[in-house]
Structure 1
Amino acid sequence: MTDAFSSNSEAVINRTVNVSTTTTDYQAGSLAERYEITETCRFVTINNFKKVALQFPDDLLSDAIQISAEVEKETNAKTFILGDTSYGSCCVDEVAAEHVRADCIVHYGPSCLSPCRRLPLLYVFGKRPTDVQQCAAAFKELYSDCESHVIILYDVTYSHAIGDLRQLLCEIYPNVVVSLLKVDHSHGAKLIHDSLVADDQLDSQDDRVIFTFGRQFSIQEGLRIDDYSMFYIGQEGLTLTNFMMTWNRCSFSSFDPITCTGRVESININKALMKRYYAVERAKDASVVGIMVGTLGVANYLTIIDQLKDIIHKAGKKSYMFAMGKINVPKLANFLEIDVYVLVACPENSLLDSSEFYRPVVTPFEMELACNKHRDWTGEYVTDFRDLLPGGSSHVGFPEPNQSNNEEETTDVSLITGALRTTNFTTSSEIIDGTLQSTSLVPRNETLTVANTNTAASYLAGRSWQGLEPKLGRTPVVKAVKGRRGIAIAYEEEGLGNRDSSTTPHQQS
C-alpha cells in the first residue's frame, strides 16, 4: 500500500540516461534519415531561428544529444533539449520552450496533433519500421470483399509508409479512403510529408470532408461515416482508443507493425460507454467539482476552462481549479472535499482511466452532460473539447432560466444512490464576475440571520490534518540564518554527522 503513495526518491535522483556524443558514419546516416535532420535544418535556416527547442519523449532521449549536435553543426542556431514535459509527451510543451525564449519548437515522436498558438512548430514523427507487404496482406485477409468501404487511419510514426500502402490497395479496393495528416498552418505548424501524395488536396468547406484529430479524409456522397469500417495501423494505445470512442458506431480492425499481425478489435464499446456514463452520473451527484488543467499547449484551453466554470456555477455546484502537472493517485487523494474532477487535456489524454483514483475523473463533454439539461446522451462521444465551444460541431447552449416559473429547479433520481436529486439552476443575475453571490451567505430565519454553508473553510476545519500549525504570536522573530546545504535526503551536515557517529574510537586511532 505504501508503494502507491511514495516512491524511492534516491533512485529517482540517481537515475541516469546513457547517451553518447560521438557517432559513427553509419549511425549519423541512420539518424539523419530517421529524424529528418536535413529538413529540420532547412526549416531553421529559412526562418532564421536563433534558439530552437527540441522536444523528445522519454524513449527517444537517448538520441537527443546527437540530434542536437547535428542541428547546431548545420545551422547557426542554439538548441535546447526539452526532456521532461509538464503533461503528456504527445502535446507540444510551449511553456518550457518559452522559459528558454526559444524562437520555435521541433516536436519529435508520436503526437496528438492538437493545434498550438504561441510558437512556430515543426513535427518530426520519425520512421518506425513497418512491412508494407505484410500490412496489405493483413488488410486483404480482413476485408475479402473488394467493394468494402474502409477508412485507413494510422499512428503518425508510420506515415512514411502510407504512400506505398495506398498504391498496393487502391487499385484493388476502389472504396478505400486513406486519411491524410493535416495541421493548422495559420500559426506556423508544419509537417514533413514524405511519401504522401502531394496532390490530394481536399476542400475543407465540403460537407463530405472530415477533419479531426489531425486527420483529414473525404467520404462518398450519400454515405455517412457510420457506413465505413476503420482500419488502424499501429499498436494498441491512447490513439486507437480515442478513435474507437469517437467513431463508436464503426467496426474497427488493426495491424500491429511490430508483430505484423492484423486483427478485428474486440473491445466492447457499449461497455466502455456505460463506464463513461457511470462517471456522468457521479458528476450529476457531485456538489464540489475540481477542474484539472491537463495541458498548457492546446489552443483554447483557457476558453473551455471558463466555459466549465460557468456551467458548473449555473448548475448550482462549486468549482476549484487545479494545476498539478502530471496526474497520479497520491496528488488527487490530498483533496477529499472534491466529489469529481474534470480533466482539460488533449483528446488522447482526456480518457483517463480513473478506476484507481479515489474520485472519478471525467472529460469536459461528460461534465456538460451532467450540468446541461439540453444535452442528451445519444451515444455520441466527444473527446476534443474544442468541439464543445461556441461554433464547434458539438456545441449546445446552456438553457436560460425562466423567471416566471420554477423551471430552474429540476428533480430526478440518482442512478447510483437511488435518492432524489434536486438541481438548482442559478440565474444570470445571481452570478457577478463569474462567482456565485448567494451560496456563501443564506437567510436562516425571519430575522435574516446568516451563516456560511459548505465553504472551503468549513471543509478545512473538519479535516484531521490541516497542515503546519501557524502558532501566531508564539514564535519569536529572528534574523535570517544560513540554512542547510545539499538535498533533502542527505544534507551535507547530516552526512558529516552520520560519518562521525559511525566512526569508532579504534578507527580514529
Structure 2
Amino acid sequence: MSSALFSSDAENVIHRPLSTPDVGAGKCPEGFLEEIYEIQRTVQFIQEKGAKKVALQFPDELLVDSVRIARKLEDATGAKIYILGDTSYGSCCVDEVAAEHVGAGSLVHYGRACLSPSKRLPVMYVFGRKAVDVTLCVERLQTLIPDRGTPVVVFSDVVYEHVLGELESRLAQIYPGVVVSQLSLVSDVPSSGEVRRFGRSFSPDPTLWPDAYSFFYVGAEGPTLSNLLLTWPRCPFFSFNPETGEGRKEGLNVNRALMKRFYLIEKARDAQVVGILVGTLGVSDYLSALSHLKDVIHRAGKKSYMLSMGKLNPAKLANFLEVDIFVLVACAENSMLDSSEFYRPIVTPDEMEVACNPAREWSGCCITEFRELLPGGSAHVPFPDIDPQDADRTDVSLITGDLRSIRFSALETSEERTTGTALAQRNSETAVAELGPAASFLSSRSWQGLDKSLGQTPVVKAVEGRRGIAIAYDDEAPN
C-alpha cells in the first residue's frame, strides 16, 4: 500500500485510489503452501491444545497468504481462526495482547521471530524455509577459517534453521571443535555449561569459551547478527548470506558501534529526567523489568516517567520535551533502536543501569535481553547500599566537560511509592505547591495549552456543522 504526505496537490491525494495486494490470490504457489507454512504441523498443534479460537499472527509481507491459510486450518480443525495483521509493537514479537482481545486459546506466529519467551498463551512458530546451498556454505566457511583446529560456534537466522542438522554433520568432519546452536524456546534455567542467547542455546568447551572461539552466522544482515556481534565484540565473526552466496568477515564497524553505545551511556549519566518506554506487552518478565528500572533510576537521583504508545516514531516522542533521555524495554531485537532521527536519544535497560548503578562497570559488551539484568539473571548487579554521608557525589561529564552532581537515594518501598507522591499537594489558591520536573518545564513554556475556563463558557444549542471535506465544503462556492 502506498501513501503520500504533504503533497502540494491535495485534491489528487484525497481522491487517488490506493493499490492493495490481492489477498485472495496469494503470492505462494498452491503446491508449496502446505510445505512452507507447515499446515499439517499447525493442525496437530491446534488439535493438541484443544483451542476453539486460534490467532494467526502474520508480518505485513505474508498477509497476502493469510486468508488461504486460515481457511485450510478452519476446515481441518473446526476452530475459529482470527488473523492478526498490524501488531502493537514489533512483528518479531508474539502479540499475546491482540490474541487475548478475541479470546484466542493459542497463537501461531509466522515469519521471523525474536524468540523472546512468553507465558500467557501456547505459541507455535512457523518461520518458513528459505533455500540454502549447504555445499557452498561449507566451502565459504573453509575459505574464511582455514585452520581446522579453530573451535567454531554456528548460528543462523530462524528461516534457515531447518538446514542446521545437515550443516552440523558436514562441519563435524572438518572442524572437530564445531558447535551448532539450536533454537531454545523454553525459559527454564540453562544446564551446566550451556549458553543461551536470543532464543538459541549451545554448549561450548568451558576451558576455551569465549575468547578462543570464532563465530559463523548463516543469514543476511539484521538485528540478530548485530546483537551477536555486540555481545561478543572481541571474537572473530564470519557470515554467509544464502541469498547472495557471499561469505565475509564481519565486525568492521563494531568498534564504532560500541563507541556510540558508550556515548549514549554518558548521555544517560547527564540526564535528569528519564522516559521509560514500554516496547512490549508479551515478553516474559517485562513488568519486573519496568519496576527494576524505576527503582534504579530513582536511586540514582533521577526522575522517571513511564510511557506506553505502541510503535515508536520521532513525532510521538517529540511531544515530551521535558524528558532528557528515553530507555526502551523491548525484545532483544528491538532494544537497540537507532535514535539518530529522534529529538532525544534512546538507550537500552543495560545502558541505563550502567549509567545509574555505581556498582556496574561497562565491559564493552552489550546486553539486549533485559531479563538478564533482573535478580537471578546472569548480568544482575545489586545496587549498593549508599552511606547517607556519601550520597552526594560529583564528577565530570565526558560530553559537556561540566561538573555534574549526583545524589543517590534510598530504595522506596511499594507503600512509600504509592502514598504521598501520587497527587501533587495544592494550596488554597489551587497552585501546585511542589512542582515535579514536568510541571516545572510546563511552567516555563510560553504556551501551556488551552485554558479550560470551567463554568465560564455559556451553554448554546447544538447546530449542524459543515459538510464535505476541508478543501471543498458543500456550502463553499467553487473558485
TM-score by length of 1: 0.85
**Partner Cα distance (1:5, 1:470) in 2:** 33
Q: Once the 2 structures are TM-superposed, how far is the Cα of residue 502 of structure 1 from its aligned partner?
A: 6.0
- When structure 1 is superposed on structure 2, of 218-227 and 341-350 the one drifting more is 218-227
Of 38, 41, 44, the match for 1:39 = 41
Say if 2:337 is the partner of 1:334.
Answer: no
Which residue does 1:240 correspond to in 2? 225
Which residue number in structure 2 is paired with residue 19 of structure 1? 22
Q: Deviation digits for residues 69-100 of structure 1, max 9, x if unmatched?
A: 11112110111111101111110001111111
1:65: how far off?
1.1
1:458 corresponds in structure 2 to 440
Alpha-carbon distance in 1 for matches of 2:292, 2:324? 19
For 2:434 and 2:190, the matched residues in 1 are separated by 54
Contact 2:57 2:83 in 1 (8 A): yes
Task: Please say if residues 274 and 326 of structure 2, whose CA atoms lie closer than 8 Å, have aligned partners that are also in contact.
Answer: yes
2:179–2:202 contact (8 Å) kept in structure 1:
yes
Pick which of 139-148 and 97-106 moved more. Answer: 139-148
Shift of 1:124: 0.6
Instruction: Report % sequence identity.
Output: 51
- The answer to whether the Cα contact below 8 Å between 1:4 and 1:330 also exists between their aligned partners in 2 is no
Equivalent position SS for 2:211? helix
Residues 74, 378 of structure 1: alpha-carbon distance in 2 compared, 3 angstrom cutoff: same
CA drift at 1:358: 1.3
Q: CA deviation at 1:441?
A: 9.8
Q: Residue 61 of structure 1: CA displacement?
A: 1.1
SS at match of 2:390: coil
Pick one of 375, 379, 391 that aligns with 1:390: 375
Q: How far apart are residue 237 of structure 1 and its match?
A: 1.1
Aligned with residue 267 of structure 1, among 244, 252, 256:
252
* Alpha carbons of structure 1 residues 439 and 239: separation in structure 2 relative to 1, 3 Å: same
RMSD: 3.1
| Cα distance in structure 2, aligned partners of 1:6 and 1:427 | 51
Q: Tell me what 2:428 maps to.
A: none
Residue 440 to residue 50, structure 1, CA distance change in 2 (3 Å): closer
SS of the residue corresponding to residue 159 of structure 2 reads helix
Deviation at 1:218, TM superposition (A): 0.8
Question: Equivalent residue for 1:192?
Answer: none
5 Å-filtered alignment, 1:48-127, equals 48-127=50-129
Larger mean CA deviation between 457-466 and 248-257 belongs to 457-466
Which of 308, 311, 318 is residue 296 of structure 2 equivalent to? 311
Q: TM-score, normalised by structure 2?
A: 0.90
User: What is the alpha-carbon distance in structure 1 between the residues aligned to residue 255 and residue 57 of structure 2?
Assistant: 37
Stretch moving more, 151-160 or 164-173: 164-173
Cα distance in structure 2, aligned partners of 1:12 and 1:317:
50
CA contact (8 A) 2:298 2:411 kept: no
Deviation of residue 407 (structure 1)? 1.5
How far apart are 1:227 and its partner, in Å? Answer: 1.5
Tell me the equivalent position of 2:191. 205
Residues 58 and 66 in structure 2, CA contact (< 8 A), matched pair in contact too: yes
Cα offsets for 1:453-504 (capped at 9, x unmatched): 55322222222343333232332235777788xxxxxxx6448964675679
- The match for 1:279 among 232, 256, 264 is 264
- After superposition, the C-alpha distances for 1:194-213 in whole angstroms (9 at most, x for unaligned) are xxxxxxxxx9421x211221
Question: 2 CA distance for matches of 1:224 and 1:400?
Answer: 33
Tell me, yes or no, if structure 1 residue 469 matches structure 2 residue 451. yes
Q: Deviations over 1:294-323 (max 9, x none)?
A: 111101111111111111111111100111
Taking the aligned partners of 1:422 and 1:150, their CA distance within structure 2 comes to 47
- The verdict on how the C-alpha distance between 1:139 and 1:101 changes in structure 2, with shifts beyond 3 A counting, is same
Matches within 5 A, 1:181-260: 181-184=183-186, 204-206=190-192, 208-260=193-245
In structure 2, what is the Cα distance between the partners aligned to 1:362 and 1:180?
A: 29
- Supply the distance in 2 between the matched residues of 1:324 and 1:14 (Cα, whole angstroms): 30
Pick one of 140, 143, 146 that aligns with 2:145.
143
* CA 429–301 in structure 1, closer or farther in 2 if over 3 Å, else same: closer
Match of 1:359 among 327, 330, 344: 344
Q: Is the 8 A contact 2:23 2:63 kept in 1?
A: no
User: How far apart, in 1, do the equivalents of 2:448 and 2:228 lie?
Assistant: 44
What is the identity, as a one-letter code, of the residue corresponding to 1:168? R
